[in-house]
Structure formats: C-alpha cells, structure tokens
C-alpha cells in the first residue's frame, strides 16, 4: 500500500477532493490523506456536495469521515509514512513544510506540486460555485488517475 498526502493551506476543498478521489480509485494500492498548514476545521460544503454528486464517499485515508486537519499530524512519529506528498495550492507549495518521516530504507517521500485554482474563492450562484468545484475536481481526477496509472 502506497500513501499519498495532499497539502493545501485550508484543507477544505482541493486537498479534500484529492484525498477522497484517491481513496475512491486507489483500491488496494493507494491510500489518500490530506492536511493543511492553516486548516479551516471543516471541509467546504461545496467540496462535499461535489463528492456526493459523483457518488464518492467523503472518507479519509484512515477510514473515518474526511476532516480538515493540520499537516503537523503527519509529521508525528506514529503517523502513516508517506510515499508521495503533493501540494495542490500555490500557497502551500511556497510554505516550509514539516519534515516528513522517511519510508523504510531511509527514502524521503516524493514531493510534487499540482496547482489548481481555489474553487472556494468562486463567487456567484450555487450553480456557478458548484461549477467551479466541478472543474477543479475534474482536473484533480485526471491528474491522480494519470499518476497512479504510471506508478
């Protein structure tokens, strides 16, 4: 089982969508997690609606309900060891991340940046905001599917 951690500042939209999608398609090979440098404390309702619209359970890598949490949780000694750490927003990509525990054999996790626009910044009607979330979610799905298909 390979673990992938998705990081964003608020851990409420892009990283949550990424975590849930990977857990939906990862099977027995991949498990997704998400966290933020300054978590909002709760997933964005439009992110949860987007997942529901695609019949995707809002389930975290640990098996419980997805939640907004600090990336500090994943730097603790008893945290799951990450194989890949992905920043999904430009703010988190520019921040100093915690030192992640290494994989067996002493390898640091692979670090990637997949930047997506913040759908939580969308304005307008509910339909327009959901459309922004849908567009970002489709890009997340394509990126994750391509990556796990190659690895």
Residue 14's H or E segment, with its range, is: helix 14-25
Among the listed residues 5, 7, 8, 129, the single catalytic one is 8
User: What is the rounded CA–CA span in Å between residue 4 and residue 23?
Assistant: 10
Give yes or no for a contact between 101 and 81, defined as CB atoms under 8 angstroms apart. yes
User: What is the rounded CA–CA span in Å between residue 71 and residue 33?
Assistant: 10
Among the listed residues 58, 89, 130, 140, the single catalytic one is 89
Q: Tell me whether residue 8 is one of the annotated catalytic residues.
A: yes
Among the listed residues 59, 97, 110, 131, the single catalytic one is 97
Q: Tell me whether residue 89 is one of the annotated catalytic residues.
A: yes
Strand 110-113 vs strand 84-87: parallel, antiparallel, or unpaired? parallel
DSSP 91: H
Q: Known catalytic residues?
A: 8, 89, 97
């Amino acid at each position: 089982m390979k673990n992938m951690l998705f990081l964003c500042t608020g851990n409420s939209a892009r990283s949550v969508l990424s975590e849930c999608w990977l857990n939906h398609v990862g099977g027995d090979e991949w498990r997704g997690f998400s966290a933020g440098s300054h978590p909002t404390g709760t997933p964005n309702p439009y992110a949860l609606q987007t997942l529901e619209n695609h019949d995707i359970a809002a389930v975290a890598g640990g098996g419980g309900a997805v939640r907004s949490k600090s990336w500090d949780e994943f730097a603790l000694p008893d945290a799951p060891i990450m194989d890949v750490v992905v920043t999904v927003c430009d703010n988190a990509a520019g921040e100093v991340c915690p030192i992640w525990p290494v994989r067996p054999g002493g390898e640091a996790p692979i670090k990637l940046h997949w930047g997506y626009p913040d759908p939580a910044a969308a304005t307008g009607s509910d339909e327009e905001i959901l459309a922004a979330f849908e567009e970002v979610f489709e890009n997340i799905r394509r990126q994750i599917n391509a990556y796990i298909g190659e690895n």
